[in-house]
Structure 1
């Protein structure tokens, strides 16, 4: 009697647990790997599954959002790279020549301290990525503790061209006149000297600059800035062409 009673009770428990397990399997929409192990494998849910339970749906939505956000980054980076590449290709070929690298600066802006704003505006225009020039400004590029005369001479020597921002302040500054004479001695009668007149008539130019073509900033500064830029590019192109012809003639003479 006792053995039959225990057997009936065990049978009832087995049937009860088997029914609960079947109900759980029917309620769970996630697929499990068909292995013979008793340990359940990690559920695999497709992103955006409409019948996933809350705990499954949250993980699916997170994975989906991460995937979509990460896929957006490459396109953003590629657009930046394409923009940078197009900007470089639009620059004149003279800016990529080996001759240009022989000096640290393309333009040395010589100016009076009171005209620093005007000098900075010109330098920022020339240094814009669409222009690509390298400018020297004493207040920005001169190392602290250096002798003024030495640094000015070095800047003049280490620049392809020189812009003399001629103003009444410039003409009353001994250091500016000193720098002007250094420029004239470095590249006399050349395209490297670019006097730019501002806040004064051309008739008041120093005698030393009367024979040099002058850019007028009084009428339209934007036009004047573009004239300075074109003058620098033209100088680089002219020198590069001369060097190319010189090398070509030398190679022909050797043959």
Structure 2
């Protein structure tokens, strides 16, 4: 599997919005790492909205949501609340007693769908 990371994989000098659009269109899945920072960041919101549109256009679930921290539902934008109904949702294991291999296997399965 190939992972697209903005700082590493986007060509320098290109328009950021076009890079995001092309990367999401070429991807099987888009993983949204949900945190309080994600909710406040305009580029994260833009990426999420492009992924939502990709799902609508292709008529397939393209988003995998990984909660990095607990966020009460009242703080989530309505777009994310709607995504939670259709997307695969995983919690990143912050507890050292939780076997991480279970999380990684679940993420691999979600990406492979």
Please state which band the TM-score falls in when normalised by the shorter chain.
0.7 to 0.9
Which 5+ residue runs of structure 1 have no aligned equivalent? 1-132, 236-255
For residues 161 and 193 of structure 1, the distance between their equivalents in structure 2, rounded to whole angstroms, comes to: 6
Partner of 2:63: 193
Instruction: Please identify runs of 4+ aligned residues in structure 1 that moved more than 6 A.
Output: none
For residues 196 and 205 of structure 1, the distance between their equivalents in structure 2, rounded to whole angstroms, comes to: 14
Compute the displacement of 1:225 (Å). 2.5
Q: Is the 8 A contact 1:152 1:179 kept in 2?
A: yes
Aligned length, in residue pairs: 102
User: Which structure has the larger Rg over C-alpha atoms?
Assistant: 1
SS at match of 2:19: helix
For residues 210 and 202 of structure 1, the distance between their equivalents in structure 2, rounded to whole angstroms, comes to: 13
For residues 226 and 156 of structure 1, the distance between their equivalents in structure 2, rounded to whole angstroms, comes to: 23
Q: Output the TM-score relative to the length of structure 1.
A: 0.37
Compute the displacement of 1:192 (Å). 2.0
Which protein has the bigger helix share?
Answer: 1
Partner of 1:35: none
Q: Deviations over 1:146-204 (max 9, x none)?
A: 11111011111111111001111111101110110000010136332101111223634
Q: Deviations over 1:26-84 (max 9, x none)?
A: xxxxxxxxxxxxxxxxxxxxxxxxxxxxxxxxxxxxxxxxxxxxxxxxxxxxxxxxxxx
Compute the displacement of 1:218 (Å). 4.2
